A = this chain, B = another copy of it.
């Protein structure tokens, strides 16, 4: 067990929460790279405060998004229990993207950047076997072509996400079209080349 730090002084805890709320809102609009200075100013604190509480951006991201990440993992678990494997897969991808649609920052965390904290890393490690199981079942049921892999599912995720990122500001629902394209494509594509291995998944999400 990691030793638990003593509780924060009341004023410090108040500022911490304030910073978290502020950062979450700013990152939802502007993505993960919001300058610390902007967060501090918007929260009405100084640089000292945010750096003392979150010395690395990773610390801030972990504190901000860990529960959202848990939610997504929960979706994967729920999907894995779905009787119809393909329905589970498409439901999971759609739910995950709906969450990302709420927050640009969360989308970046789940699919871009080596911002990827250990938290996200572990989340992928937990979700990948679930997705792999669903895909295996879907292939067996003839719902997906034989060569389909979890990496192809990840690629579909990245693809739809790129449309979401590009169209957020002027066509916030356009990603749903991209999603139907990606899902229909997975089912019907005759996938060329060697099936990508699982290492591809992490590298795809952390480019």
A residues touching B (Cβ–Cβ < 8 Å)?
Answer: 152, 155-156, 158-163, 165-171, 173-174, 176-178, 180-193, 196, 200, 203-204, 207
Contacts and interface: CB of A to CB of B under 8 A. Distances in A.
A162 B178 CA distance: 13
Contact of A166 (B158, B165, B177, B192): B158
A115 to B, nearest CB: 14
B167 A193 contact: no
A178 B159 contact: yes
B200 A189 contact: no
Given A152-B181, A186-B181, A193 B207 contact: no
Contacts of A188: 184-185, 187-188
A193 B188 CA distance: 22
A183 B177 CA distance: 14
A110 B195 CA distance: 28
Contacts of A186: 181, 185
A158 B152 contact: no
Contacts of A159: 159-160, 162-163, 178, 181-182
A174 to B, nearest CB: 6
B189 A181 contact: yes
A182 B182 CA distance: 6
